[in-house]
Every structure is written in C-alpha cells, then in structure tokens.
C-alpha cells in the first residue's frame, strides 16, 4: 500500500507576520519544518529536504539573524529515513517545491536521486531579484554532482503522483497531489499555503513575489481538496485539513495511507 510519511525536521524562529501578511507583527513564533516521504512498492519520492544541517556555516549572517534554526540530530533527514529502514540512496526522486533554503537545504544528501524542479524556479534561484535573494542560498542546491530535471506545468511523475504549478510564493513554486487508498486525495501544499489562517482569513502569507498568483494558487489547492473530499498538508503548520475539518498531526512521524 502506498504511504505518505510526514517527517518533522526542526523549526525556525520568526515573526508571525511572515506567515500572515500585515497581521500579528511583533509576535515571535516557532515555525515547524515538514518534509514528506512517498513510499510505494515500486518507488520512493521525497518532497523537499528541509533546512541544511550545516546551516550555521552555509547560510549568510543576515539569514541566520532573521530566522535562527533549531534542528536536533534525530531530525536530520538521513537519520529519519534510517528509522524507517531507508537510506538517502533509496530515494528515487526528490521533488523540491521550490529552492528556498528551508526546502532544499539537504539536497546534497541525495546524490543518487533525480531532482524535479520547476524551470522558472531554477532561473530565479540562480539569478534572484533583490526582493527574493535572501531566501536563495546557492551553496545548498547548486551542486555539480546533483541531477536536476527541470519541468513545466502539470507533471505526472508516477500514476497517482502529480506535480502542479502553484506560483506566487516564488516564481516557480509547485505542489504535489498524491492518490492514496484510504485517504484518497492528499495535497502537499509546500509553501503555497502556510497556515489555516491563510485560508480562513483569508490572508496572504507574508512572503511572496506575486500576490495575485499566490491567491490563485491558494484557491486552486482548496478547490482540489474540496472536490475530492481529500486532505491537505502544509509545510510550516502542525495542522492539516481533512474532510472533517482541521486536525493536528501527531508527534513524530505521521503516516497517511
């Protein structure tokens, strides 16, 4: 049976207004990191790789000061995979929802994987505008031994695993839609939606390059979940949307089947 495992990989400290545009400024919060393992009998896929375990050395000073990070050794992606009986070499594909530091920070752990990234995202990550440059840390993703496959538009990676463009947070942000036997449709939103409040406000997340496209992407994902009576997971929230409403993830690894 295909499973999706939610892997908690530490957190960063930040201001709430980075999650909810122009709201709750001055409120300090711990922003959790989640990455996802799609495990099937025929393939394994990792969605994002979290923040680099070497962030102190690789991130610029300004980034470390803005969003200091806390990651325990047992939250390193390779160690979490080991707890599930896997190694980085067992991962066939890595889907980077985008190339911000907290979603591709440990790409170097997966030299045997094929990385799927939106073509527009690669362009902006390698030559970002000043308004987006702080979040792109070239040292964690621009590595000659990694194999990147640039994609555009909807992309059917495997039967029941589709990558869809959800721009706005970044130019080339993408989300993942997975079909599961028990859960049905499971949407891995990435940073297309941060929090429950973004949808219920509605209020845009605080970091974006295109507000109009961000709003459209949020509505698109909500529409997919509503039509399918499915679930949606958010990279930086412990809450997830289910057909019965918002629920909390359990502590440690959570699994959807």
Distance separating alpha carbons of residues 34 and 71, to the nearest angstrom: 12
Tens digit of each residue's pLDDT (9 = 90 or more) over 60-77: 999 999 999 999 999 999
Q: Are 92 and 43 in contact (CB under 8 A)?
A: yes
Provide the CB-side half-sphere exposure for 35 (13 A, CA).
28
Domain count, the chain: 1
Is residue 209 one of the residues assigned to a domain? yes
Is residue 255 one of the residues assigned to a domain? no
Sequence-distant (≥ 6) Cβ neighbours of residue 75 within 8 angstroms: 8, 9, 10
The answer to whether the pTM exceeds 0.85 is yes
Residue-number span of the structural domain to which 160 is assigned: 3-249
Q: Are 33 and 12 in contact (CB under 8 A)?
A: yes
Backbone angles phi, psi at 178, to 5 degrees: -120, 135
Tens digit of each residue's pLDDT (9 = 90 or more) over 160-215: 999 999 999 999 999 999 999 999 999 999 999 999 999 999 999 999 999 999 99
* Percent above pLDDT 90 for the chain: 99
Residue 117's CATH number = 3.60.15.10
Neighbours of 221 (CB within 10 A): 24
For residue 256, name the pLDDT band (cuts at 50, 70, 90): very high
Is residue 257 one of the residues assigned to a domain? no
What's residue 224's pLDDT? 98
Is residue 256 one of the residues assigned to a domain? no
Is the C-alpha dihedral spanning 139, 142, 148, 150 positive or negative?
positive
Backbone angles phi, psi at 256, to 5 degrees: -115, 135
* Residue carrying structure tokens 């440059």: 133
């Amino acid at each position: 049976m295909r499973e999706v495992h939610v892997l908690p990989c530490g957190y960063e400290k930040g201001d709430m207004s980075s999650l909810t545009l122009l709201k709750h400024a001055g409120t300090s919060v711990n922003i959790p990191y989640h990455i996802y393992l799609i495990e099937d009998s025929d393939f394994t896929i990792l969605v994002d790789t979290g923040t680099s375990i070497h962030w102190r050395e690789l991130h610029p000073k300004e980034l470390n000061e803005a969003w200091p990070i806390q990651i325990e050794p047992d939250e390193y992606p390779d160690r979490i995979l080991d707890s599930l009986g896997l190694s980085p070499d067992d991962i066939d594909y890595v889907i980077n929802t985008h190339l911000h530091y907290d979603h591709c920070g440990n790409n170097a752990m997966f030299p045997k994987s094929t990385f799927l990234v939106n073509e527009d995202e690669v362009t902006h990550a390698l030559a970002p505008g000043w308004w987006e440059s702080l979040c792109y840390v070239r040292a964690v993703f621009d590595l000659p031994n990694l194999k990147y496959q640039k994609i555009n538009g909807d992309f059917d990676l495997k039967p029941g695993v589709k990558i869809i463009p959800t721009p706005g947070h970044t130019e080339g942000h993408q989300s993942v839609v997975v079909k599961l036997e028990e859960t049905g449709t499971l949407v891995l939103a990435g940073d297309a939606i941060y929090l429950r409040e973004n949808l219920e406000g509605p209020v845009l997340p605080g970091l974006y390059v295109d507000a109009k496209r961000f709003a459209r992407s949020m509505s698109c994902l909500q529409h997919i979940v509503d039509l399918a009576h499915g679930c949606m997971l958010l990279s930086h929230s412990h809450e997830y949307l289910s057909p019965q409403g918002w629920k909390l993830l359990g502590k440690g690894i959570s699994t959807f089947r």
